[in-house]
């Protein structure tokens, strides 16, 4: 049994919904009006640059009153149509403060609808499905400089209620304006628009307009024909990377690099001292006891000596975006190597005999020192002139 096509036996809530709408007057009417459109920069009052980088419009207060009478609930979504150019897009509403008979649209929306200032536009209320996928294409390769584009777009979408397939919208990030085209939306429908409010949207990106894939040349490909080229091909015009940076001369084990570094990193650059602690025969020039104007009596600080460290690889000055993995590989020590080091460590290191500065051989501690016995003088005894003992 049905009653005016509103009540069905399998849907008892249909009658209640019909009474809530005002009896049997039919379904609620659709908001359908015509207005003159203007860019948001012409909105009276202080300048609001953020209005130009979103997907919401400014409507007059009378539109809110009519929407309330028609029971149009949140979110209020609208379909904008330029009948002369057969262009359509979708939007949301931000405020109801415009003058009567006027609409204020972002600049990118007016370009999408091919509208000029003051043109007539039709606006109707509509319903759109929640977006599940949006595929975008940046219109400039500068978009690749954004470190986290998905996070940036997530913030930009807060100013949007809908996106429509075929539109090119704009947003601002770090004082730079980016234009992005909508290539695909899901779920698909005849309206070609989706709602991006209060939903989880999967965002996919197409290569930016004007982007060219860099050509990659493999260093392990077939070697080119030529004389003196290394096997496996040349990475650049100087030969291999090791040849280009002259690695043999700057390697940690290089004799030339070690000798040059020792020459400038000597630890005996200051004046020497004698072992006898005798001062030099040259006497310093005496200074005047009376201070001279404009000069300091403090002794000058010694100049800092540049010390160059040699306990490590020398720095490599490579071109940008270049890497070099030519350092010598030190294999891990095996158990046999560790046992050999332990055996060497247990052997005595000072088994030889030492030498003194005079060139003599140093005696061992265990050698006994001979003690010379002193001869005691005999007591004085008188002697006879003939030599006989007394």
Instruction: List, in sequence order, every beta strand (DSSP E) within the chain.
Output: 32-39, 56-58, 77-82, 87-95, 102-105, 120-126, 133-138, 162-164, 168-173, 176-186, 193-195, 202-205
- With a cut of 70, list the residues of the chain below it in pLDDT: 1-28, 217-242, 244-245, 249-319, 321, 324-329, 349-355, 359-384, 386-390
CA distances from 72 to 29, 199, 222, 261 (A): 9, 20, 70, 82
pLDDT of residue 1: 38
Instruction: Provide the whole-model pTM.
Output: 0.51
Closest CA to 160 of 111, 198, 211, 126: 198
CB 26 within 8 A of CB 18: no
Name the 3-class secondary structure at 143.
helix
pLDDT of residue 161: 93
Question: What is the CA angle 114-116-121, rounded to 5?
Answer: 75
pLDDT of residue 223: 46
CA 100 and chain centroid, separation: 50
Q: Please report which residue ranges of 59-165 form alpha helices under DSSP H.
A: 61-69, 107-112, 149-156
pLDDT of residue 81: 95
pLDDT of residue 14: 54
Q: Tokens standing for 360?
A: 């003599």
CA distance 349 to 27: 105
pLDDT of residue 288: 55
CA distance 249 to 237: 20
CA distance 292 to 297: 8
């Amino acid at each position: 049994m049905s009653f005016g096509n509103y009540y069905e036996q399998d849907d008892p809530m249909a009658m209640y919904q019909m009474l809530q709408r005002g009896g049997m007057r039919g379904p609620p009417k659709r908001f359908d009006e015509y207005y003159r459109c203007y860019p948001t920069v012409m909105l009276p009052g202080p300048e609001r640059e953020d209005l130009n980088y979103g997907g919401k419009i400014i409507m007059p207060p009378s539109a809110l009153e009519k929407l309330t009478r028609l029971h149009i609930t949140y979110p209020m979504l609208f379909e904008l149509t330029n009948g002369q150019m057969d262009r359509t897009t979708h939007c949301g509403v931000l405020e109801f403060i415009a003058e009567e008979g006027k609409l204020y649209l972002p600049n990118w929306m007016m370009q999408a609808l091919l509208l000029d200032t003051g043109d007539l536009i039709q606006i109707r209320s509509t319903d759109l499905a929640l977006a599940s996928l949006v595929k975008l294409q940046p219109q400039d390769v500068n978009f690749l400089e954004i470190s986290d584009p998905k996070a940036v777009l997530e913030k930009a979408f807060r100013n949007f209620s809908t996106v429509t397939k075929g539109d090119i919208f704009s947003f601002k990030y770090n004082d730079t304006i980016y234009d992005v085209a909508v290539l695909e939306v899901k779920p698909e429908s005849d309206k070609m628009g989706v709602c991006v409010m209060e939903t989880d949207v999967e965002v996919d990106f197409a290569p930016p307009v004007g982007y060219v894939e860099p050509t990659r040349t493999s260093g392990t490909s077939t070697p080119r024909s030529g004389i003196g080229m290394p096997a496996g091909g040349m990475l650049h015009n100087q030969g291999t990377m090791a040849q280009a940076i002259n690695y043999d001369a700057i390697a940690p084990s290089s004799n030339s690099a070690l000798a040059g570094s020792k020459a400038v990193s000597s630890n005996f650059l200051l004046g020497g001292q004698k072992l006898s602690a005798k001062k030099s025969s040259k006497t310093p020039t005496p200074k005047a006891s009376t201070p001279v104007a404009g000069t300091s009596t403090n002794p000058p600080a010694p100049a800092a000596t540049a010390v160059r460290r040699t306990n490590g690889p020398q720095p490599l000055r490579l071109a940008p975006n270049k890497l070099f993995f030519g350092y010598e590989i030190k294999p891990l020590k095996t158990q046999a190597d560790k046992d050999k080091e332990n055996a060497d460590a247990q052997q005595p290191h000072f088994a030889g005999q030492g030498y003194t500065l005079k060139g003599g051989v140093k005696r061992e501690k265990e050698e006994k020192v001979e003690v010379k016995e002193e001869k005691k003088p005999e007591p004085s005894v008188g002697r006879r002139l003939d030599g006989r003992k007394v």
